[in-house]
Amino acid sequence: MKTDNPVTQRTDRVWYTEAACDIEEFAATVGRTASLSDYPHASAVEKNVVIYDAADVLAATGTPEGRKAVLAEICDVFARGPGVAVFRRAFTDMSVIDRATAVFDGIIADEKKNKVG
């Protein structure tokens, strides 16, 4: 297989081998503490989780520049930050969440009953 094509390069970038891993770099990455000042569109940082208010995020994306800024910030949370973001009040219709929860509860019950999962 060619090694200079974008698909191979992407695969090599996201699927690590043991030789490509550096434990000191990993320790430094997981040891970082998120700061609210690094995420201006966030409403809080709790237990190293960046928290956004969905309405504020939507308001900030009202212009192309605002949208780019918000998306870049969220990408940074995942690429160089703590890797976890919460969007509070992302769903205004809680019946959607309730239906999804019921489906997952059913899956979990089936797995317990059949001793799988």
pLDDT of 45 reads 98
How many helices and strands (H and E) does the chain possess?
A: 5, 3
The structural domains of the chain, with segments of one domain joined by +, span 6-114
pLDDT of 2 reads 62
CB 82 within 8 A of CB 35: no
> For residues 4 and 14, what is the distance between their CA atoms, to the nearest angstrom?
15
Q: 32 versus 112: which is more confidently predicted?
A: 112
pLDDT of 1 reads 56
pLDDT of 57 reads 98
Listed residue (54, 55, 61, 40) closest to 86, CA to CA? 54
Q: 76 versus 31: which is more confidently predicted?
A: 76
What are the pLDDT digits (tens) for 21-70?
A: 889 988 888 888 999 999 999 999 999 999 999 999 999 999 999 999 99
pLDDT of 9 reads 76
